[in-house]
Chains A and B, each alone.
Chain A
Amino acid sequence: MVSFWKLRQSPNFRFAMLTLPGALFLLIFLVLPLISILIFSFWRTESYQLIADWNIENYKTILGQKTYLTFMWRSLVMAVSVSLVCLIYAYPVAYLVAKRGGRYRLILVLLTAAPFFTGIILRVTAMQQILGPIGLLNMALQTFGFEPIQILMYSNVASAIGLVYLWIPFMVLAIYLSLLNFNFELLEVAYVNGAKPWRAFLEITWPLNWIGTAIGIVLVFIPTFAAFVTPRFLGGVNGALYGNILEHQFGATGTWALGSAMGVVLFFICLIFIMIIWRTINLQRSGYTGEEF
């Protein structure tokens, strides 16, 4: 018993015990599936059967055929533009709530997450009801004798609108949480020292809240890059993205090995994106003092 007591005092043991549940969870639900996907991606599918015949044909297909690269490019453009639109829209919202929300700011932030009260399919369908050919918007236009807006019907623009709508709460939340810890008095210092409001924003607010903003961008970029439900409902026949093709491999065509390889590629693209964002974060330049965390 004495030795067990001593063991409990050991910092290494305590660290191990504290991290064990989380580590186990990650191992079972993240690392193992990832490894299996990685293994499958070097196999081959034949008649809906996975065959352990090691090869790199799947990667040759994805990285060599123009079709796959096109879809990858489309998804990338989609992810970048959706992240950008979310950012431009979410920053003022988060700023206003953090600065002027007063005692209502928690409720205001939770309200931006109100769409989460329902499922994703329902939300995307709701968007379809608004943007589609027989949707609210175009029906109304037609009723009053106008032409329907073609670009909103089953197009990548429609998908983008839907994706912005889906992921904007993440961006608002990430920026809002960052601004909560931001000392707005620093802006007064900037003003007194001759900075106009926009200059103060660029010099002070933006760099000091870049970590939160970067987290928001990552949280929007990754699900957008992998999106398949939204483009299927809102994008129509010509609106398919990388995610749709990927999903296709596990469904209709049953080419699991190719699908796995597509998943691995997706994983690495996201990883590279996170690395790029991470490189922009300099803790000291973000005002990290080494005390607060």
Chain B
Amino acid sequence: MSISKKTNRLGGKSQIPAIEVRNLTVSYGPVPALLDVSLSVAPGQLVGVIGPNGSGKSTLLKSLLGFVKPDFGDVELFGEDADKAKGRVAYVPQRGSVDWDFPVTVGEVALMGRYGKQPWWRDMSAEDREIAEYALEQVRMSEFRNRQIGQLSGGQQQRVFMARAIAQGSEILLLDEPFAGVDAATERAILDVLETTREAGRTLVVVHHDLTTANEYFDSLILLKQRLYAHGTPEQVLHPELLSEVYEGKLRVFAHLPAAGQSEVGQRGTPHE
């Protein structure tokens, strides 16, 4: 795939949603990890996924990566089945899972994004290098290309892995708690990268823990606890009542949610006699 083709695809805003999840149920036993989750994310959105521990956030990410077999329902990425569209999503690892002492430079990490495109006996092509370089440019890390990855600030480190994901040619980036354990300045810098990446037309799904910042960081939020409690703008989702229900299990109010995307509940399908 050439660069120009890629920009074309990203540039031409299609009506197909980047992510379409329909009635997804995933379980590892009597208690479902995800129950009847339906949501749709338009291309070019920066989406936060929030919810308490064990609420199915990582199961949702795995489903988007095509790693889990759902009990029911389907996941589509740009209209393609998730397990057939594996190249279209890139996973950006948690900072803690990276060995920052590893002898590898910024440029090499970005190039790793292209490793899947060449068989092992063939060299990386000039085009691959060009794409990796372009990805670094996009996250404004070109000048650091010969730096070892440990010698970067937290925000810069995040950018390198974003560049790798971009080099993979993925339009959808999944990030697992990129803000975990970083200081305020770094958090700002990482957010800056996320926003730049979104402006380049990519869709970002970010697992997030901090409710106080969820409001300003994301275009929309997904509030999850086994089932989808809300999906909409931060104002719609961050309702104190809704949050206390999800996080503290205070109320047992059913499905009448203030948020959008719940029209199906209103339809009340007619179970047969």
- Are A and B co-members of a single complex? no
A interface, CB within 8 angstroms of B: none
